[in-house]
Amino acid sequence: MSALAFQLPPALEAGEPPEARGIDRDAVKLMVAQRSSGEISHTSFRDLPAHLLPGDLLVVNISATIPAAVPARRADGTRVRVHFATRAPRLDDRWRVVELRSADGSRPARGRTGEVISLAGGDAELALVAPYASGPRLMIARLAGVVSFAAYLERHGEPIRYRYVSEGWPLPAYQNVYASTSGSAEMPSAGRPFTYELITAMIPRGVFVAPIVLHTGVSSPERHEPPFPEYYEVPEATARQVSATRRWGGRVIAVGTTVVRALETVVRPDGTIGAGAGWSGLVVAPERGLYAVDGLITGWHEPEASHLQMLAAVAGEELLERSYRAALEHGYLWHEFGDSHLILP
Digit-coded pLDDT (tens) for 144-168: 999 899 999 999 999 999 999 989 9
Task: Please tell me whether the overall predicted TM-score, pTM, comes out greater than 0.85 for this model.
Answer: yes
Distance separating alpha carbons of residues 333 and 345, to the nearest angstrom: 24
Q: pLDDT band at 90, cuts 50/70/90?
A: confident
* Cβ neighbour number for residue 329 with a 10 Å cutoff: 8
Chain segment 283-300, per-residue pLDDT in tens: 998 889 899 999 999 999
Cβ pair 161, 168 in contact under 8 A: yes
What pLDDT, on a 0 to 100 scale, did the predictor assign at position 213?
A: 98
**For range 296-322, the mean pLDDT:** 91
The full set of domains in the chain, from first to last, is 2-65+169-344 (3.40.1780.10), 69-156 (2.40.10)
Chain segment 102-154, per-residue pLDDT in tens: 998 888 898 899 999 999 988 899 999 999 875 668 999 999 999 899 999 99
Rounded to the nearest integer, the mean pLDDT of the chain is 93
Chain segment 4-60, per-residue pLDDT in tens: 778 899 999 999 999 999 999 999 999 999 999 999 999 999 999 999 999 999 999
Chain segment 166-200, per-residue pLDDT in tens: 899 999 999 999 999 999 999 999 999 999 999 99
Distance separating alpha carbons of residues 110 and 259, to the nearest angstrom: 30
H helices within 98-251, ranges in order?
149-156, 196-202, 236-247
Contacts 24+ apart (CB under 8 A), 162-169: 162/105, 162/106, 162/221, 162/335, 163/105, 163/106, 163/107, 164/10, 164/13, 164/14, 164/15, 164/335, 165/15, 165/16, 165/335, 165/337, 166/15, 167/15, 167/16, 169/16, 169/17, 169/20
